[in-house]
Amino acid sequence: MTSTNVAMGKTPHLTLIRGVDLVASPWKNGGGVTREVAAWPEGAGLDTFVWRVSVADVAQPGPFSRFAGIDRTLVLLSGAGMLLDDAQGYTHALKQPLDIARFEGEAVIEARLVNGPTRDFNLMLRRGAAAGEVEVWRGDGEHTLSADVALLFCAEGPIAVTVGDAAPVQLDINDTMRIDSADAAQALRCTTGGSGALLAIGIRYA
């Protein structure tokens, strides 16, 4: 996982994205509300992004929007849970906060809510242009990142984050630290402190 302006001997570029500043917009299929955290290229539409990270409020059961050529990772943030049924009869069960589901964007997915609305974290990657992964970091720890872009999303907060030699930053729920790396091959040290949890997203360009 990674950054665009920080590494050993080089300083990565850090951007703090506060959750209170995220703007809500309707889902592609109208079944909920999404808040874009970050995307590349900046300002890209749903048909042109290389990667996109967002938080969605799912208010009702129904079909998921389909995105051809996109690999998706979904993480339950809050709510009683959601069951994602695909056309082949497999069910992705998101029953506990920070449960993760991975599936192709063109798949036919029907969502069932366990008991009321949920809030979910969504990573979308355009296949062949970018690849990525999501890890859960809980509480105090030392980690390394090596990717072109990394995002540390606060799923449970608060939690303090120290990237390389930069000053610690406290993240509250829905805050994100974006790290753009000057050298994706160089591992970047990251320390966390507190009782919260982060989703650590590492993205590499093809």
pLDDT computed for residue 79 by the predictor: 93
Q: Mean pLDDT, the chain, as a whole number? A: 90
Evaluate whether 152 touches 161 at the Cβ level (below 8 Å): yes
- Determine how β-strand 197-205 pairs with β-strand 149-156: antiparallel
Which domains, ranges and CATH numbers included, belong to the chain?
13-18+130-205 (2.60.120.10), 23-126 (2.60.120.10)
pLDDT computed for residue 1 by the predictor: 41
Evaluate whether 109 touches 28 at the Cβ level (below 8 Å): no
User: Which residues touch 162 (CB under 8 Å, ≥6 apart)?
Assistant: 168, 169, 190, 191, 192, 193
How does pLDDT run across 112-127, given as a tens digit for each residue?
999 999 999 999 999 9
How does pLDDT run across 72-86, given as a tens digit for each residue?
999 999 999 999 999
Given a cut of 60, whether residue 4 has pLDDT beyond it is no
If DSSP codes are grouped into helix, strand and coil, which group holds residue 3? coil
Q: Token pair of 62, please? A: 């129904």
User: pTM of whole model > 0.85?
Assistant: yes
